[in-house]
Amino acid sequence: MDQVRRVGGKGGVGRRRGGRPTLEEVAARAGVGRGTVSRVVNGSQQVSPETKAAVEQAIAELGYVPDRTARALAAGLTDAVALVIPEPEERLFSEPYFAAIISGVSTELAAADKQLLLTLNRDAQERRRLGAYLSGHRVDGVLLVSVHEDEPLPDLLRQIELPAVLSGRRTAGEAVPYVDSDNVAGAREAVAHLAGRGRRSIATIAGPRDMYVGQARLAGYREALSSAGMRAREDLVAYGDFTEAGGRAAARELLAREPDLDAVFAASDLMAAGALRELRAAGRRVPEDVALVGFDDSAVARHTDPALTSVRQPAMEMGRAMVRLLLAEIAERSAEPPHLVLPTELVVRASS
């Protein structure tokens, strides 16, 4: 029986390493020891040019590719990072924000030659299993997107000493490293823009109360009103859940409370799109009767009619920044959890 060929895997499912050469074989062929090949592969300076050349030739001849699994086991580092998105799929579909984050993360990770493990966690049950997953030593760090205030995962991760970075913070004083966009300033700018156009009765459709991002945008709304010398009226604030349906319901509510409102700032484009529909249904013209501004500058914003003025978040850049922060944390844990707040940009279109 050939031990060389012998492969594991229960149920007879062969190990599929059809003769893939190992470090050892490269070493034999190059006439050097394992350690030397390892040094060459990992770019150590401690190898003489001639030896290096010989090893590289052997690698080329054999078509050797290092086994990352073995490397991970021996070195204790997996060179992989998990991206956790604890959201129902509807949002994943409709919010290009996620796609942009993923794209940014992917780009930056590829540059660092790290791998991306994607985890979509719809429900709490899956979330629980995730803990085991992550402690199963398969990733060096975790990227967490769209965390709710009561999300326990970040703390769990800290407990098992797995570096993590959030996109967005759970609270104002977030204790875990994060990257966020300047939601307060973005909202402020949007509302100031509305005020600047002479709108006097500016309502807002805020995000969920249990998400910092919702609170922040609402705070920006209030700040802008106050700066413009307007009184903040609680009856001009309605809450939505970032969905189109939620936005529509919120708009209906606002219209009922204040039929004369002449502007709406929605904390997401999807909610703005819902509001747009409701305003239309209620016979309001946009922007003539009611100006409308959204948040996210998503594809939806460009396709409504009229196209939505919206606050652009640098989602892709946020993804990249998250990775940079995470890799730094993996290399060396910093004493203070670092964070980064990126600026937003108001994109003015026909709706305001």
Query: What's the min distance (Å) between Cβ of 60 and DNA?
Result: 15
Residues 67-86 that bind its own copies (CB under 8 A): 67-70, 72-78, 80, 83
Residues 184-243 that bind its own copies (CB under 8 A): none
Tokens coding 60: 């080329």
Tokens coding 200: 């006097």
Query: What's the min distance (Å) between Cβ of 56 and its own copies?
Result: 15
DSSP-derived secondary structure letter, 234: G
- Check residue 161 for interaction with DNA (CB under 7 A): no
DSSP symbols for 50-109:
HHHHHHHHHHHHHT----HHHHHHHHS---EEEEEE-S-HHHHHH-HHHHHHHHHHHHHH
Radius of gyration of the chain (CA): 26
Measured between alpha carbons, how far is 155 from 120 in angstroms, rounded to an integer? 19
Residues 95-154 that bind its own copies (CB under 8 A): 96, 98-100, 102-103, 106-107, 110, 113, 115-120, 122, 126, 129, 132-133, 135-138, 140
Asked whether 159 and 185 are in contact (CB, 8 A), the reply is no
Closer residue to DNA, CB minimum distance, 37 or 202: 37
Largest CA distance in the chain: 87
Closer residue to its own copies, CB minimum distance, 162 or 211: 162
Measured between alpha carbons, how far is 64 from 61 in angstroms, rounded to an integer? 8
Task: Give the range of 17-25, 78-86, 196-204, 262-270 binding DNA by CB under 7 A.
Answer: 17-25
Select from DNA, its own copies, none the partner in contact with residue 305, using the beta carbon and a kind-dependent cut-off of 5 to 8 Å.
its own copies
Select from DNA, its own copies, none the partner in contact with residue 345, using the beta carbon and a kind-dependent cut-off of 5 to 8 Å.
none
DSSP-derived secondary structure letter, 338: P
Residues 296-325 that bind its own copies (CB under 8 A): 299-300, 303-305, 316
Query: What's the min distance (Å) between Cβ of 138 and DNA?
Result: 12
According to DSSP, the residues that pair with 203 across neighbouring strands are 264
Residues interacting with DNA, by CB under 7 A? 2-10, 12, 15, 17, 20, 22-24, 31-36, 38-39, 41-42, 45-48, 50-52, 64, 66-67, 70-71, 73-75
